Amino acid sequence: MGITSKKEFEKNDFPILEQYEGGSIILTQLDALVNWARSNSVWPLTFGTRCCAIEFMAVGASRHDMARFGYEVARATPRQADMIIISGSINYKMVPVLKRLYDQIADPKYVIAMGACAVSGGPFFYNSYSIVKGADHVIPVDIYVPGCPPRPEALLYAFLQLQKKIKREKNFKKKLVK
């Protein structure tokens, strides 16, 4: 704990806090604080390409109400969104658009692939010239939700899984010292 020698001080990534005894304890809890804040305010992008978008809308409506988990505001611009729900199949003409939307979301960003089409191409896997065989060919996906389309409960479960995943993150990890 704290600073014991000059050499260790130089290795340290957070010299301001580490110069006080027990300063690193604040950092261990800072992760939990930041993740708590982030996981309870994940704003999805208003993005739907097929019938899964209808279920996505149902989740946003009052019966299921995704606002209970902090997903309340579907933003119309990627610059204000934290995550993207790929609700529907992605065709090859859509690929550059989806890529650009994902690139415009500010870090940290998360992706839920909702439904069989976004997971693997689904019913369009075989003999289809236009549908991408899974959205993870285009952008990295955090949570996969199977179903055609999934029930709103399944999407709510995916929201909870994503929150768990966000809460596991280490934002202030020490860099490897050579």
**Does the footprint of another protein cover residue 93 (CB under 8 A)?**
yes
HSE toward the beta carbon, residue 169, CA cutoff 13 A: 20
Binding status of residue 92 toward another protein by CB under 8 A = yes
CB of 53 to another protein, least distance (A): 20
Binding pattern for the stretch 110-149 against another protein, x by CB under 8 A and - elsewhere: ---------------xxxxxx--x----------------
Q: How far is the CB of 134 from another protein (least distance, A)?
A: 11
∠ CA 54-61-164, rounded to 5°? 90
The DSSP H or E segment spanning 120 is: helix 115-120
Smallest gap from residue 23 Cβ to another protein (A): 55
- Does the footprint of another protein cover residue 178 (CB under 8 A)? no
Binding residues for another protein (CB under 8 A): 92-93, 125-130, 133
